Structure formats: C-alpha cells, structure tokens
Structure 1
Amino acid sequence: MSTIIPQPAGSSPFDAIREVDANGRDFWSARRLQPLMGYRRWANLLPAIERAKSAARNQGASIEENFPGSQKDAGQAGPGAQDYELSRFAAYLVAMNGDPNKPEVAAAQAYFAVQTHRAEVAQIQPAAPALPADYEEALVALLGKVRDNKELTAKVAELEPAAQAYEVLASAKGDYSLRDAAYILNRDPGIQTGQNRLMVSIRKFQMVGRGDVPYASHQTHLTQRAQSYKDRESGEELLAKPQLRITVAGLRYLHKRLGGQAPLRFDQLPFAEGDAA
C-alpha cells in the first residue's frame, strides 16, 4: 500500500504526486506523471519509459527495483491499466528520455535532476559521531579536539601571510615603484632582478617607448606618477620626469615573462604602509 504525501500550496506538481511505499521508498506513478509531462496518451509515454529502462540497464541498475510494474484499477470499464511505480532514479531517466520539445518535459527534467542530486548528497553526508561510553572516553575525545584545534590554529597562522598576500594581489589595486616591484619579483626563486635590471627587462619586452612612456597595449601594466622638485635658485616648484610605476597586473605579467616559479607574495614588503598607491 502506498501513500501520497501532502504538499504545501505552491509546491511543484511533481511533489504533489510523489508517493511512499510500505518500505518508505519514494516513487512516482508513471500514469500520474504522463499528463504532467505533456503526454495526452499513455502509448506516447511508453517509448520514453522503454528508453529509460535501457539506460538504467546499461548503468547496471535493477529494472525490477526501479521500474516495478503495477495495475491501476479501471473499475467497470475493463481490466486494470498498466502502470509503473518509478523510483526517483527511474523517473529522472524517463524525464531525460522524454520529448525535448515539450516544455513540460523540460520542467520534469529540471525537477528530477534536482531531486536526484539532493538524494546523492544526502547519501554521502557523514554519520553523526558516536557518543562517548564513559567519562574517560569523553576526556580523550575532548583532548583530541583540543589538539586538533591547536594544529588548525597553527596552520592558519602559517597560511595567513600568504592569504593576505593573495588578497592584495586579487584586489588588483595599487602600483609599485621599480625598487619595490623588483623586491617582490626577486623573492621568486626563478627570478633574479633589481631596479635597474627590471627597467632593462621592461624595455626589452617593449612595454615602453621613447622617454619610457608606456605603450597603449601595456597601460594596464604600467602607469606614471607625476613628480616635482623645487628650483634652488627661484624656489619655484617645477615638474620632473614622471616616475614609472608597475601595477599589480603588471607584476603578474612580468612575473610570467621573467620565468616566475612560485606564487607572487606581497607580505613583508620593505616599504612602510602607504608607499604603494
């Protein structure tokens, strides 16, 4: 004997026809599923059921368990009508083998795909830990958790600088002087550079043109910061040659071009906070 599970208003029509057998197994009547999938006649749904059976058989699933046949009482009209009590997996396969041009079939596919995924996730949830048998066992378990927490705290402390460095890198903001950029790049075991050698590399990679002005193709990698100086004689503030700055995107680019082997790190920079724009 089976039971139809009452569903709240507004729930899926596929939920409304879900039944539970005597063993607590969810199933869907193929006859009830037929109109919800947009089929007016039972005979039109049968090919999808047969294709679903073949798919299940090819996957090693039991046809008897997933597609058990049943007879629906037809009353005085004649013998009972053929039906199948489709498991969740079987209903999913029937939906996937239905007419793809029917919007009702698409709705069934979406519903049973979600239901099947939820069931799979529920099956792999870890079991609840067993309760301690006595005080000694509980104390041992508690000490084990304390030790695990200490190890986790130590691991977090170890990874925190790298995590902070990644956050700076991922933010893609700020720019760095040649000196600071060279320091960051030089921390990679595969790169040996300094301020002057880095400038040589930038010119070699054709990132700048005459006057060390960044090419348009490298405007996301390089930028210029205006500089000024005070004339000793007149005391007037005069413009100096702009300072070439390297953006975070530029550091990524140069790190790759220079043969970097390790992730870029921004922790423990030599300059005080605020030196990077």
Structure 2
Amino acid sequence: MNELISTQNNEQGDILVSGRELHEFLEIQTPYKKWFDRMSEYGFDENVDFITVGQKSPIANGGFQERKDHHIKLDMAKEIAMIQRSEKGKQARQYFLELERKWNSPDMVIKRAHEFLQKRVEELTTNNLVLTQQVHELKPKASYYDMVLQNKSLLSVSKIAKDYGMSAMALNKKLHELGIQFKQGDIWLLYSKYQDKGYTQTTTHVIDAGKSRVSTKWTQKGRLFIYDLLKQEGILPVIERQEGEENAS
C-alpha cells in the first residue's frame, strides 16, 4: 500500500496523523488554523482525540519558524476525511481504513505484543542494574552503620579514631580543623552549635578524695556524625576501604 499520508505511533499504540499533512493532502484552500478549529467543533477533544504540537518550518532567510500542528488519532482522521465530501476525502478515508485493518491484523497484534514485551524486559534489566549499583554503593555505609548501631555504649575518641586507622590526637586535630571542637585545658569540648545535639557526654572520674578527672566520651549518634562529616572530606573507615578494595579487585 502506497503511503498517501505519513503516520506515527505513540506509546499507547495509537496511530497518529499530522493535521497539516492531512490538510495538505485534502487540498483544503482554507488556512490550516481556521480549518482545524472548524474540524474540532465536530465533537473532538484536545488530549483525547488530538494533541497540539510545535512544528519547525524553514523560512527565506535560512532560519526556522515555529508553526502549530496537531497529532490526531486515526478515528478522528477518518471522520475528517469523510466530512470533506470530496474525492481526496474518499481516498484518505479508504487509506485510513486499510491502515486500521492492517494495524489490527493478527500478525501486527503479535508483533506489537512482542515489541512491548521486549521493551519491558529491557526496562526491567536496566532497573535491576541501577538497583544493583545502588545496593553496591550503599553496602559499605550500611556495614559501618550496622556496626555502630549494634554498640550502645559511650566511646572514647581513641576508639573512634581506630575505626579510621588514626590516632586520637590526629582525629581530635581534624575535628578541630573542621570547626567541631576546641580544647580547654586537657579536654576537648564541642562548639556551642553542636553541644545540644547529643553527640558527646562529659563524665567525671574520681581518683581520690581530692582529685578527679573530667573526660569527654562520644555517643553512637556522635560517632555517626563524625562518619558523615569525615566522609564529606573523603575519609572513610577502614572497614569501608577494605570492602571497596575487595570490590575493585
């Protein structure tokens, strides 16, 4: 069958026809906009029977001009062709009926079903790959979080520093550089903006009747705060570095 008027298909499986191409084929003398507005009055609804689209057409100075076009469904195209009461209208209607017949033939139905299933398989494969990648990226973090959440006790800075293969002095210095804490006497204290977050607890250890020692311990919430903070600096716990190296190999 010769292609009198070009068609395309949308994702819902509808056959679509360009309003302007149909207007040109029917040899309508009325300007397109006026003609299409009149055709729409025969009970056709936008976004149901047709959609409005932009069309770029070349102009004399070498540029392009934006023109309004419409993608109309096959049923609407058939009715418009019948309304014209002309030989061209009859040709167009017969052409659309033949298109519809072939579109609904068993072979075409099976072909579309196969294409749909193939597309779904490709989508599911892509989604699974993305999900696998996301799980892979989150796994190291989950491992460290799981380890932290299993421990409910207070921690010295030396214990947290060990998670990163650092000394307590190095971690304290890093937290100071990042504006988290300052040193007062022999102990490190959080700056005021972090003091009420539940990151640390200050404890007093009595040595004897005249002596006591004050120390700052980190809560598990504070430990996770340090984790997120250092991760932004590119510093990961040893456990995550090891997992990353294993995955890379």
* TM band (smaller chain): 0.3 to 0.5
Q: TM-score normalized by structure 2?
A: 0.38
Q: TM-score normalized by structure 1?
A: 0.35
Greater fraction of residues in strand: 2
